[in-house]
Each structure stands twice: as structure tokens, then as C-alpha cells.
Amino acid sequence: MEEKLLHIKNNALSMVLQAKNTKELDEVKLQLLGRSGSLTQAFKLIGKVPEEEKAEYGRLINETKQIVEDALQSAFDNFKKQKIKYQSSLDVTDPAILPPLGHLHPVTQAIEEITTIFERIGFTRVRYPEIDYDWYAFEALNFPENHPARDDWETFFIKEKPDLKKGPQVLIPHTSNGQIRELEKKEFPIKMLNIAKTYRRQDDISHVPMFHQFETLVIGKDISIVHLKGTLDYFAKSYFGPDRVTRIRPYHFQFTEPSFEVDITCDVCKGKGCKLCKEGWLELGGAGMVHPNVLRATGVDPDTYSGFASGFGVERVLMMKDGIKIDDVRIIYSPKLDFLEQF
């Protein structure tokens, strides 16, 4: 019986120490001293103890009960003191702890800066569909029927019944559909900036299936390559800084003639050559004089009006900004906060 009482006492003290609040203490007290509690049941056993051992058993059980009650009371007192201390230190006029605040994604920040740069020289920001008809994405832009870009290995087609005149719908592979929709308005002169998501079946260090482009279109009388080069240089100096070098290379695009690709010295390797740029230059996008066939497709007389267009990747432009040092376009869409919080 003595060993049983010792076990009850040790178990009781352990339960009291493990209680995390007064509610748990109340449950411990009930388990020990309640009607069916272990100590209460031990008291009921006194009638079964031999006569010569009753006095000693009575002393031990009373002593055990006193120790348990003292431990319970001490624990209750400690919790009460903690509550009083917390309440006395609480100032209800203190400002609340605010949740952490985010910020605009780096691509959104780049779009806002690009928009501001072009607005300063009279460009108007427009927005056109990111799901559009083949007519706007290819046909009116002088793409032949068998052009590789019109293959479903290159472009995402929408499974909807094609329009009899405008053809099937696609996720736009470039923002150049905005050129056709703007030209259809016949509101001259045109100085358009179109920024939108674009989609292509590419995924590697310098490509992602969904990316952003910004498209410029200038249409008026006597517009020349000089105006195009001047606009490109203005943007490059405004966004990248006065010390960065850009170049244009002859290229072929279906909707411009002559056509150029626009490159900039790689900021990751400072023009030495790296895994991103390969040879020190990174392509930002394409540009050129609007092809006469594009003007004719929208009912504009190429003998009266001329113009230039350019299309750049927002992510590419962001990667080449001075000091950014992003050598893989895919990381821009990483959910890692340690990356995003740098911007």
C-alpha cells in the first residue's frame, strides 16, 4: 500500500507540472481528488487495511493528499500571477502588430517604368486581347499560310470553332496583333504602346511559355528609320543608363521591312560572354519599318503613310537593367521570397 501511495503522489506531481493552463489543472484536480479520483479511491481502501497498519496508512494518505493539494494550489497561484502580469503590461492603446506587406512584382515595376518612359515622348498606352484571331496574330501581319509560327508546335491554339473570316483563335504569340487593331481605327498619327502577356512553346534559360511584351507603333507621314533608331536609343538610355551600348542587326520579320533585331551589352557578364548571352550581347526584341502589306491589309495607303514598330520582352529588359544580375529568366517567376524581396 505504501508503494501504491508513492506511485500516486509521483504521478500526481508530474501531472501538475505538465499542465499548461488552469483548465488543464482543473482536469488534473478532478482526476486526483474527484469522486472517482485516484486519491479518493485510495481513501476508500482504508477499510481493507489490516488493523495494525491503519494508523500508518492513514498518516501516509493524508500526507500524500496534503502534498498534492499544495502542489495544485501553487500551480493555480502561478497561473494567476502570470495572468495579472500580462494584463498589467497590456496597453490597449498600443498599435496592432501589422501583417507583413508585399510589393509590386518586379515585372509589374518594369512595366510601370517602361510606360512612363514612352509617355514622356507622346506614346499612348493601349490594351488589346491576349486571345485573338489568326487574322490579327498572323494573316494581316503578312505571315504566309505555311509559316512555322502558325504551326501548333510553336503557337497555342484555342479549341473553338474558327471564325469564317478571321480564322482560329490563339493565345497571342506577340503583341503585334495590337498593330492591326490600332491601324483599323484609322486615327492618324499613331503613337501606340501596347503591353500584354504573350505565349509561345519555349522554356529554357532565356524563354518561358508565358512572358510579357511591349509593342510600339508609330504611323504618320514621312516616318523613317531615323525616327526608329532615335526612339530605341531614347528608351535604352532612359531605362538602362547613359553608359550602356545597344546595336541593331539586319534581320527578317514578316511584318517589317527593313527589319532589325535590337541587342544590348549583357549586364550579367559586362559583355564578356556568359551562359545567358553566349557572346556578350543579349537580344531584347525586334524592330523595323512597317511592311506595306500590313498597311494594305488594314486599308491604309502605304504611299501616304509610313511607320515603324518594335516589340521587346519585358522580362529580357528587366534582366538587363543595371545591377539586376538575373541570368535565368525562369527565376523571375519563382515564388521564393528571398528573391522577390530584393526588388
Q: Are 195 and 311 in contact (CB under 8 A)?
A: no
- Tens digits of residue pLDDT in 266-301: 888 888 888 888 888 988 899 999 999 999 999 999
DSSP, res 225? H
Cell readout for 300 is 491604309
Residue 87 has pLDDT above 90, yes or no: no
Contacts of 339 (CB under 8 A, 6+ apart): 331
Pairing verdict, β 281-290 and 210-220: unpaired
Residues 45-61 have pLDDT tens digits of: 777 777 777 788 778 87
Element (H, E) at 149: none
The reported pLDDT for the residue numbered 85 is 60
263 pLDDT higher than 60:
yes
User: By mean pLDDT, which of 57-61, 116-120, 165-169, 222-226 is the weakest?
Assistant: 57-61
Domain assignments of the chain as residue spans, ordered by start: 2-89, 106-340
The confidence score (pLDDT) of residue 2 equals: 67
**Mean pLDDT, the chain, as a whole number?**
88
Percent of the chain whose predicted confidence (pLDDT) is above 90: 48
Give the fold, CATH level 3, of 106-340: BirA Bifunctional Protein; domain 2 (3.30.930)
Cβ contact 9:67 at 8 Å: yes
Question: Helix, strand, or coil here: 196?
Answer: strand
